[in-house]
């Protein structure tokens, strides 16, 4: 799988990006005040910069570490000879949990928030917001994932599946797309929808309360620390430390002014 890792991930990334971009054109959720060509070129340029820097500074990939762990018997699953199917499922869940906890930390720790706020500083909310991250945040995230893969002895298949799903869901739940209300309510049981995640990026922080981000900041920091992987039914009120004051479907949609 190693020779095909990059083509698989690039194809998945490009495919989801194109599909979401088409959806945004055909059924946008809200009018975008910021100019799309300028934002998109900036956000996608950041993706290229992130990718190049990570490849230079951390040549090893998650799949490469997975094969190395397999060859040397590293990790929990190799120590206990876990079935391949179980190792794949648990690895995907564990990696997802690790990135979720990383997201919480990047909101709770001021030094890390200074990196993560680049993601929240976007002037609009669309598919490219889901891939707009500070290079150092991407680097730290990669190191965390490599550590988890080595500790678990995660299979290469699980690593590729996780990376594809992570990128796809990030672009989906940042999409400026209109999802039918009934479908949105069903999807929230398994994935965070754009309407559900949009409140996390709103500057109207007084509409939500956080049990994690307690200290006010000079910077406009979203009160919520909820991320892309905490779906809840529409009637549930609490999710990963935040309490909804308004239902996700009625989430505020005010962002920074492009002026």
What is the per-residue pLDDT across 138-191, written as a single tens digit (0 to 9) for each? 999 999 999 999 999 999 999 999 999 999 999 999 999 999 999 999 999 999
**Are both 142 and 83 inside the same structural domain?**
yes
Report the distance separating Cα 67 and Cα 168, nearest Å.
24
Window from 71-85, 99-113, 237-251 with minimum mean pLDDT = 237-251
Domain of 165 in residue numbering reads as 2-173
Please count the structural domains in the chain: 2
Residue 259 lies in a domain: no
Q: Is residue 255 in a domain?
A: no
Buried-state track 37-65, b at ≥16 Cβ within 10 A, e below 16: eebbeebeebbeebeeebeeeeeebbbbb
- CA–CA dist 58, 54 (Å, integer): 5
Same domain (yes/no): 47, 139: yes
Distance CA 71, CA 60 (A): 15
Average pLDDT over residues 15-29: 96
Same domain for 225 and 98: no
153 against 243, higher pLDDT:
153
pLDDT at 218 over 70: no
Classify residue 211 as left (phi > 0), alpha (psi -120 to 50) or beta. Answer: alpha
Residues 93 and 195 in one domain: no
Domain C-terminal end among 173, 191, 215 = 173
User: For position 201, what pLDDT does the model report?
Assistant: 86
- The verdict on 10 and 120 lying in the same domain is yes
209 pLDDT more than 60 = no
């Amino acid at each position: 799988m190693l020779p095909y890792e990059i083509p698989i991930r690039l194809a998945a990334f490009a495919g989801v990006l194109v599909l979401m971009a088409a959806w945004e054109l055909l059924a946008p959720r809200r009018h975008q005040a910021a100019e799309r060509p300028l934002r998109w070129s900036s956000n996608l340029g950041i993706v290229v910069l992130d990718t190049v820097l990570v490849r230079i500074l951390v040549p090893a990939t998650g799949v490469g570490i997975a094969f190395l762990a397999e060859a040397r018997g590293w990790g929990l699953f190799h120590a206990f000879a876990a079935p391949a199917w179980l190792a794949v499922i648990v690895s995907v869940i564990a990696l997802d949990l690790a990135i979720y906890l990383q997201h919480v930390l990047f909101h709770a720790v001021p030094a890390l928030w200074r990196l993560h706020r680049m993601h929240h500083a976007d002037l609009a909310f669309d598919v490219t917001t889901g891939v707009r991250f500070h290079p150092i945040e991407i680097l730290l995230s990669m190191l965390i994932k490599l550590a988890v893969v080595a500790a678990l002895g995660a299979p290469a298949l699980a690593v590729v599946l996780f990376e594809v799903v992570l990128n796809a869901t990030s672009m989906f739940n940042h999409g400026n797309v209109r999802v039918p209300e009934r479908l949105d309510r069903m999807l929230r049981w398994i994935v965070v929808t754009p309407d559900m995640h949009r409140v996390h990026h709103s500057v109207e922080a007084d509409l939500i309360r956080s049990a994690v981000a307690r200290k006010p900041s000079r910077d406009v920091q979203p009160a919520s620390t909820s991320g892309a992987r905490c779906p809840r039914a529409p009637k549930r009120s609490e999710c990963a430390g935040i309490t909804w004051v308004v239902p996700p479907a009625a989430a505020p949609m005010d962002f920074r002014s492009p002026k």
